[in-house]
Amino acid sequence: MSEREALHLFAGYGIELEYMLAGTGGLDVRPIADELLLEAGGTFNDDVDRGAIAWSNELALHVVELKTNGPAPSLAGLAALFQGEIAHINGLLAPRGAQVLPTAMHPWMDPIGELELWPHENDVVYRTFDRIFDCRGHGWANLQSMHVNLPFADDREFGALHAAIRLVLPAIPGLAASSPFADGKATGLLDTRLDIYRSNARRVPSVTGHVIPERVFTRRDYEAAILERIYADLAPLDPEGVLRHEWANARGCIARFDRMAIEIRVIDVQECPAADLAVAAAVVAAVRCLVEEHWCSSEAQRRWDERELSALLLEGVRDADHAVLDNRRYLQSFGYPERGRARARDLWQHLVESLLAHDPCFGEWAAPLAIILGQGCLARRLLAAAGPRPSRETLREVYGRLAGCAAHGTLFGARSHGP
């Protein structure tokens, strides 16, 4: 949208959910997103308009994205809309022996042997990414996330929003990590997706930076310090300028001046839309409280260096909800009680309790968040269910249950793994 049409802060919300397509039997990935979109929309165009929700392709042919069809005025009710779309997709996939499979990474996919790139409209973009970065790896072939888009209307709003989101990013894995397995085994990290994401564009380091964006709070500074540097570094590898767009920026949140929004990218997709929207609601509420300076000033938020925040993010990548946040200044930024040390789960418990007390509408997400905070983030529940050294059969059973969660809109509850 143009700047004249732009929405003000928190006047609209864009949600994007990425899902794998997998077989109903063995759960191996199925590269049939083009067949799905062709049947649903009648063409190989990369978007299918379904009213309030749209479907689109991604780089990998076994991934489909569901997204709000433009900004939604509220997060309320979106989980049910997304759930209805999953039911429709599963209905179309069933004759092909396939289904939607949630979470941020397939637990045993071989990205080198199994990746198939989207071959239709806009394929030149994916072929360019592949030529420069070689997409045959988990960092391109096996990552599913939720993106949350928040609008801003002008430079003042952009600066306040960017400062607040930067501060929330390191805490997000503590709520949303869902990727403890890759290559058929536990990786030792709870947010493996985010760890891989940090280096998937390592040939051009400026594309991702430190994941936490630099301290820039105006459009002019952002374009000069981040976007123009990315474009300059890509130019020798992309002389046609195929990737000279804002979406080439792979930081944990990116400015989309083309639609006057900031897109948050560090959130692992969960087991069902009810969980995804609960996570989105908690993240958005924390961002909003910072923008409104409930706990600290915007000026104080802007003083955080990206390297300092990145160090906190790495703790979350490894330990997620059990990550130890021992930076007193960081905890005080969220109004956490006067202690210099807390687990990420404790910080989110504090935030959710505060939000429930002050915003009655937040109660819609209380039940999913109670499971996430009480039983652990999805990655921890998956580890509890499968064990630290699961067999392929155990992973099939556990991830089969996850497919059921996506199909029926239920949260995943861990059961003890067998011997």
Enumerate the domain spans of the chain: 14-408
| Of residues 167 and 6, more confidently modeled | 167
> Mind listing the pLDDT tens digit for each residue in 1-29?
545 578 999 999 999 999 999 999 899 99
Q: Which CATH class is domain 14-408?
A: alpha beta
171, 324, 338, 393, 413 from 342: Cα distances, Å: 11, 6, 10, 37, 25
The yes-or-no verdict on residue 295 having pLDDT over 60 is yes
Residue 46 structure tokens: 């990369």
352 and 373 Cβ atoms separated by less than 8 Å: yes
What pLDDT is stored for residue 46 in this prediction? 67
What pLDDT is stored for residue 310 in this prediction? 97
> Mind listing the pLDDT tens digit for each residue in 30-89?
999 999 999 998 877 668 999 999 999 999 999 999 999 999 999 999 999 999 999 999
What is the rounded CA–CA span in Å between residue 68 and residue 229?
A: 31
DSSP3 helix / strand / coil % (the chain, rounded to 5)? 45, 15, 35
> Mind listing the pLDDT tens digit for each residue in 202-261?
999 999 999 999 999 999 999 999 999 999 999 999 999 999 999 999 999 999 999 999
Question: SS3 of 191, please?
Answer: strand
The yes-or-no verdict on residue 359 having pLDDT over 80 is no
What pLDDT is stored for residue 417 in this prediction? 40
Least-confidence region, from 39-48, 355-364, 388-397: 355-364
Residue 364's Cα: distance from chain center in Å? 21
Q: Residue 4 contacts by C-beta under 8 Å, 6 or more apart in sequence?
A: none
Question: SS3 of 225, please?
Answer: helix
> Mind listing the pLDDT tens digit for each residue in 120-157?
988 899 999 999 999 999 999 999 999 999 999 999 99
The pTM of the full predicted model, rounded to 2 decimals, is: 0.95
Q: DSSP secondary-structure letter at 268? A: E
